[in-house]
Amino acid sequence: MALLDGEVYEAYRSELLSRYRLLLRTLGNKVPKDKAKQIREAFDFAARAHEGTVRKSGEPYIFHPLAVAQIAAGELGLGATSVISALLHDVVEDTDVTNEDIERKFGSKVASIINGLTKISVVFETVDKDTSVQAENFKKMLLTLGEDLRVILIKLCDRLHNMRTLGSVPEKTKLKIASETLYIYAPLAHRLGLNVIKTEMEDLALKYTDPGSYKEISNKIAESKISRQKYIKEFIEPLTLELKETGINIFEIKGRPKSIYSIHRKMAQQAIPFEEVYDAFAIRVIVDEPIYKEKSDCWRVYSIITDQYRPHEGRLRDWLSRPKNNGYSALHTTVLGPKGRWVEVQIRSKRMDDIAERGLAAHWKYKAAQEGEDPTPQDIAFETWLNAVKDTLENNDLSALDLVNEFKHTLLGEEIYVFTPKGDVKSMPMSSVALDFGFAIHTEVGLKTIGAKVNNKLVPINHPLKNGDIVEIITTQKPRASIQWIDIVKTGRAKSKIREYLKDLRTAEAAVGRKMMEDVFHKQSIEFTEKHIQQLTKYYKYPSSNDFFHDVADSKINLSTDTILEILFKKPNLTEPSEESPVKKEKKRNAGQIVFGEDYETPYSLARCCNPLPGEPIFGFITVSDGVKIHRTTCPNASRLMSQYGYRIIPTSWQKNYDKAFDAQLSVRGIDDVGIVSKIADIISKDLEVNMKSINIRANDDGTFGGRIDVLVNNSQDLEILVNRIKSAHKFIEVSRIENVE
């Protein structure tokens, strides 16, 4: 290892070698000789190329590609080509090595994967100049989905390792990377079925955006470990004998806590403490039987469990018959376990478990298909999804930003299954409406849709669809699509088909307008030249002559000969139609309680969506017209802002000991009790740290009460104390901070 001669590296040398050996062991002995040689060459090549560079943590750079390769092999089960590509993934971007060098030495397959990885990494690792650059980069990454899936898989490994080592990067970059990860990488990993990677990404993102909550939840999970294990043992005991009698091979029964991030999300959504997240863990039963028996065996296990424990009505999820699009297949149910506690039980085969943990993408095409096996239902589900992705990506009219948003919402979300009257099934994004279904059948059908019958009932085109609906689309003779439809439909496919149609329609109408204008010119013997057309377009303030002609056809433009002559010849300096009133300037709060880096002076205001309080983790966001806005790092809008406009984030902190009160709004709900309102008012007014601005609580007919309290507090701790005091006023009361999601 001549390349590690430098003294600095001496200390790292044995560590590096042992990690390299671990990588080889992980790959196992199935690697053919020539590939094994290439892996060694790739490792040496990368080490030499990165020699002399260190990561932010101080480690020699080569540790990073080696770790990425380890994740690819160990956690995704990827093979030699992916490992070689992972080892080399940063050399073209960060060193003098060119893609041609890679191709000459490692062949065209590896070169094309590296090329894909280089294209997308230019993206994120540099500071972006504007929004579209960042979105453009997301787009490039998504495009690689249609090419070689290994590009995206290695990119996810790369991102995971960057998240694991995020501790040593500057605060601003930290928030940006964590937000991007939450916004697109984790959902993408989920979609590809890479559950382990998705979970770790989310947990790490929480650790950096909301360290307090992260610590609290992980501590509580650790504290409750013993009692959890005891409970699981108690749950399993009465089942063991019966399971044995069936002769089904049970591979494993285990109880696992849910991820820190998912517990956190539940606590936030339902405004409940850790102790009340009832499904903080799930019990998993894994059967080990050949593929032809696995489904029926899962159902047999289900019946044994539900004989013992009463199942929760409506909580059976059957992903055995119809796997999720990401390949997930299992039987989930919730039963009433010992001590009257609801417990989620997941039943699946060893094969399904493997797919659930490591992802279908990792297996798909590189394993099953090579060995000539028939595709499983999961393979087909995944392929259907990939085709939908390609469909969306082929739609070129969308701006990169729209595309990324659309991708995020329709292709990374959960899906439902909807049936045609003939029983054909289509999978649709969760939020789809009837009109989306029309477009899912055929563009022609979509464009002519006037309504639908859902489960035999007539519904309008914007009717939201539910899982299992039977939908019949009702059409007319002629297309009916209009611009409003774009807001009605939820799927990218339908949106793009509508846009395409409207664009064609507009072009056709513009041609009519152009002809009308030409006739007017002719009658007056004015030349119909490009110059004259531009003059008119400019006068009426249209972005293009096409838009201008369109409105001519629509009779929105006065075509009288006089007007036209006037515009073109008589008054060349005619004042143009007046602009709107100047943008109103909002008064900025003066600098004071917030510090930007070393800077105390920058004017800013607090974002209304999350009303940050002193003491809470915050960041500054440079808005287009409204100065710097301060958001909480846990603001519902934060991850979108940071991931799409990361370059506009400025690191921000609260100035210590600033004495100014802040607005906070609380919502209270509960079971009505005599005097509860005055009790609450009493608590607030006795609290020396808090000033009440208004209280508005009313009793409802159903015996509950609810309302809103506006208070002035000094910081988040004071608010927390107040919330806890109100909570202790009554057994059945819920208090939460009001957040406005934009």
Residues assigned a catalytic role: 93-94
* 157 versus 362: smaller Cβ distance to Mn ion: 157
CB burial of 425-460 (b: ≥16 within 10 Å; e: otherwise) equals ebbbbebbbbbbbbbbbebeebbbbebbbbeeeebe
Nearest distance in Å: CB 359, Mn ion: 20
Q: Could you give the CA distance from residue 521 to residue 518 in angstroms, rounded to a whole number?
A: 5
Nearest distance in Å: CB 44, Mn ion: 18
**Residue with nearest beta carbon to Mn ion:** 158
String of DSSP letters for 181-204: IIIIIHHHHHHTT-HHHHHHHHHH
Tokens of 346: 């997941």
Nearest distance in Å: CB 159, Mn ion: 8
* 118 versus 259: smaller Cβ distance to Mn ion: 118
- Among candidates 145, 224, 135, 245, which has minimal Cα distance to 189? 145
Nearest distance in Å: CB 46, Mn ion: 11
Query: % helix / strand / coil in the chain, to the nearest 5?
Result: 50, 15, 30
* 90 versus 415: smaller Cβ distance to Mn ion: 90
* 64 versus 499: smaller Cβ distance to Mn ion: 64
* 90 versus 294: smaller Cβ distance to Mn ion: 90
List of residues contacting Mn ion (CB under 5 A) = 90, 158
Residue corresponding to tokens 């992705």: 389
- Among candidates 276, 176, 397, which has minimal Cα distance to 736? 276
Number of helices (H), then strands (E), belonging to the chain: the values are: 29, 20
Q: What does the angle CA 205 – CA 210 – CA 215 come to, to the nearest 5 degrees?
A: 95
Residue type, 596: F
Pairing of strands 415-419, 341-349: unpaired
Nearest distance in Å: CB 66, Mn ion: 11
Nearest distance in Å: CB 64, Mn ion: 6
* 72 versus 304: smaller Cβ distance to Mn ion: 72
Residues β-bridged to residue 363: none
Nearest distance in Å: CB 178, Mn ion: 16
Pairing of strands 331-337, 317-318: antiparallel
* 92 versus 361: smaller Cβ distance to Mn ion: 92
String of DSSP letters for 65-122: HHHHHHHHHHTS---HHHHHHHHTTTHHHHSS--HHHHHHHHHHHHHHHHHHHHHHHH
Cα atoms in the Cβ-side hemisphere of radius 13 Å centred on 430: 6
Nearest distance in Å: CB 121, Mn ion: 6
Nearest distance in Å: CB 158, Mn ion: 4
* 63 versus 382: smaller Cβ distance to Mn ion: 63
Q: Could you give the CA distance from residue 694 to residue 710 in angstroms, rounded to a whole number?
A: 5
* 90 versus 136: smaller Cβ distance to Mn ion: 90
The region that residue 544 occupies, defined by phi over 0 for left and psi between -120 and 50 for alpha, beta otherwise, is beta
List CB contacts of 287: < 8 A, sequence separation 6 or more: 248, 249, 250, 251, 294, 297, 298, 301, 347, 348, 349, 350
Q: Is 733 helix (H, G, I), strand (E, B) or coil?
A: strand
List CB contacts of 232: < 8 A, sequence separation 6 or more: 254, 255, 281, 283
